[in-house]
Structure formats: C-alpha cells, structure tokens
Amino acid sequence: MHPTRPLTSHPATQQVEHLSQLKAMVKQFWVYIRDPKSGQGYISSVQSLMESIESQIMIQKTASCETLETLVQQQNKLTNELTAFQDHMAGWDQIPVDEPSSVSHPGKPLSIRAPSTRVMAADDGSLLPEITAYQNFVARHGRFGGWEEFAHRAFLRLREKHGPATTDSFLRAVVARIPGISLSEAASHAAWHESFLRLTEARKSAIRKWKTRRAVAAEDHEKEMEVQETAVKTSGVKKQAIHIDRDAQRLELEAWKEQKRAEEAAFEQQHAADAAARKAQEARNRDHQRMLRERVKAYQQKREARDLLNQQMEHEAKQREKDLHNKIANEDRKRLAEKNLAIAQRRRMAEAERAQATEQKERRLKAIRKQVEVHASRDPSRILRPTESFQIKVDSPSHDPSETVKGLFRTNPIPKRHVPDWRREM
C-alpha cells in the first residue's frame, strides 16, 4: 500500500508554538525599529532578525500546506471507503431478480423484468462464474489494489504513457514518480492490475454473452407467443386474453427498456462528471504546485540578492578597515621616524656641546698650567692616612682618648647605575 506521510502528534500545539515564536520575533523587531541606532552591529542584528522572521513565516506556511494536503488526502480516502462500504451495505438489501441464472436454466420461463443495476455475488450460485470471480477479487483487493486513489491514478497515467505494465522502464518510472514505492511493490501492483483487467474483460464478455443469450431467448419466447396466438385464433376469448397479455408484456418490456436507457444515461453522466471533477482537481493541484515553485524560486532569488549585498558590504567594510589600519601604521611610522630623527639630532648636538665644553676646559687648564708650575708627585697612599689636622687633634692632651681612632679610614662606595649620556636629556 502506498504510505502516507504521518501527521504530527500535536499539530495544533506545534502551530501555537510557531506562532508564539513568530510573535516574539515581531515584537523584538518592533523594539529595534522603534529605537534605531547607528553602526554595523545594529544593521546586522536587524537584518538577521528579518531573515529569521521570513524563514519562520515560510516554515509555517509550508507546514500548514503539508498538513492541509495530508488532511485532504485522508478525507478523500475515508470518503471513498465510506462510499464503498455504503454501496456494499446497500447491496445486502437487494434481491437479484432475473439474474443470469435464467440463462443457465433454459427450462425456466423467461422474465422480462428489469434486472438489478448491481450484480451482487450470491451464495446460491445464481451469478455467472466470471461475475462472482470479479466481485470476490474486488472484495479482497479493492478497486485500487490496496493503494490510495491518487497513487493508482498516477500508476494508470504512467501505464498509458509507457505501454505494458511489465517493462522495466515502466516499473522504474513508477518508482521514480510515486514516492515510497519500491520496485517489488510496483511489480506486484502491475501484476494485480493485469489480473484486474483480465477479470474485468471476462466479466464484460460474460455479460455480453448473457445479454445475447437473453435476447435469443426473448426472440424464442416471442416466437412461442406467436405460435400460441395462432393456436388460439379460433377462440375469441382466448385471442382477447392473449392480446391483453401481449400488450401488458409489451408495455412492461418498453418500461424496462426505458429504465435501462435512463440508467445508462445516468451512468454516462456520472462518469463524465467524475472525469471533469478529476481533471479540475488535477488542474488545481498543478496550479498549486506551480505557485509553490514560483514562491520558492522568488524566495531563493531574494535570498541570493541579499547574500550578495551582504558580501559586498562586508568586503567594503574590510577594505575600509584595512585602509584605516594602513593609514594609522603609516602615521605611526612617520611619527617614530620624526621622533628618532629629533633624538638623533639632540644626541649629535649634545655630543657637540660636550666636545666643545671639553675643548674649552682643556684650553683653560692649559692656560692655568702655563701660569703656575706644579712640582708635586702623586702619592695614592695619602688617601688611607689621616690628615695632619686630625693627627694634631689626636695628639693634643685635651682630646678624649676614647675618641681616638684606632683604625684606618674606610671608603664608603655608593652604588650608582650608569646612565648613558644620550638618555639623560630624554
């Protein structure tokens, strides 16, 4: 049987949840629009929220369409099943009158009453074997072979297009065009359809033969009536009775023929109405599918244009950011170069000043040395001996002996870090 897509467990709950989410998104979007801000972040947030709202709307519409299609399919299926069951129940109350059994038993008198419009299978064996086999086959498998009506109609359209139902191309086309059908299921349904056509043709052929035999029997009966009329011509009473009987039978036969023509006309009209309804439904389905494809295509084009615009905006933003970084880097390099140049200039000026000061000092010292002659020798040990004034103070009697320095002078070096000359002015 062709599988149908199951309905969601709680479609109403899911739809309410989707609508609640959509309502929350719209409220958030209204908050964004009511308080606009500048910046790429705000634009990106608004754009992302708009895309989310559009996507949620499309998802909601698609889910609603799918749910509606599933419900319509189930409604049609249940309607067909209910109609078939009602026909089956209505057939229980119908009593077959003048069925083909009259042909099977030539000894019985021929009746010209209108036969039943539906040939129902009976347990007494009054129906033709072909009709009984057809009705039993339909009762076991249904008129669609266990498939749904729309799937069986698609199968028939493919059969008309590809020819016999046993070719591989036809089976592959059935598997490709009808979702959820395997190759073995398609082959089984094709075999069932061939059996159905064979039984249908056998039933029609049996009915035609039965009608032919019935017509022949009617002609024989009319001939017998004519013989009887000839035999009773001598009696006026019998002749009048036969004439009345023949008139009644003729009227009954005409009424039966008129009823038969009315039934055939009603059947043809119903068949034409069903065909027109099927064509209208197929046209509506095609229009609906085309509309959905156009909407999806328009949405895809809109989404592609939006993505292209976003890519262009991102590329321009990255290019502006790159240009800004390059400009800042160039300015930093220029400023550092100017600063280094100024530092180097100050360093050269300081070196020149120190050289000039050293030169001036040397000139002064030379001038002083020219004026005074110094005859003194260097004695580094003097730094470790006490001075003459201190020695006199120690040797004097008024000095406290406890204050006598018994040790030598010790140097007290002060640690000091060396600072380069070029950094002293920075």
Q: What is the number of other CB atoms lying within 10 angstroms of the CB of residue 131?
A: 20
Distance CA 277, CA 58 (A): 31
Q: Average pLDDT, stretch 204-208?
A: 87
- 174-182 long-range contacts, CB within 8 A, separation 24+: 178/2, 178/151, 178/154, 180/2, 180/3, 181/2, 181/151
* Greater model confidence, 241 or 171: 171
pLDDT digits (tens, 9 = 90+) for 145-197: 888 887 888 888 888 887 765 677 888 888 887 877 888 888 888 889 888 88
State percent of the chain over pLDDT 90.
Answer: 16
pLDDT (tens digit per residue) in 406-417: 554 556 666 667
pTM above 0.75, yes or no: no
Helix, strand and coil percent figures for the chain, each rounded to 5: 75, 0, 25
Comparing 81-90, 276-285, 310-319, 332-341, which segment has the lowest mean pLDDT? 81-90
Q: Which residues contact 291 (CB under 8 A, 6 or more apart)?
A: none
| Residues 305-318: tens digit of each pLDDT | 999 999 999 999 99
CB 98 within 8 A of CB 111: yes
Model confidence at 111, in pLDDT bands (50, 70, 90)? very low
Domain boundaries, the chain: 1-85, 128-231
What pLDDT, in 10s, does the model give residues 338-363? 999 999 999 999 999 999 999 999 99
Query: Can you tell me the distance from the alpha carbon of 422 to that of 426, in angstroms, rounded to the nearest whole number?
Result: 8
Residue 97 has pLDDT above 50, yes or no: no
Q: What DSSP assignment string belongs to 41-84?
A: HHHHHHHHHHHHHHHHHHHHHHHHHHHHHHHHHHHHHHHHHHHH
Site of tokens 């229009």: 287
Asked if the model's pLDDT at residue 107 lies above 50, the reply is no
**How sure is the predictor about 243, in pLDDT bands with cuts at 50, 70 and 90?**
low
Residue 281's Cα: distance from chain center in Å?
25
Where residue 135 falls among pLDDT bands split at 50, 70, 90? confident
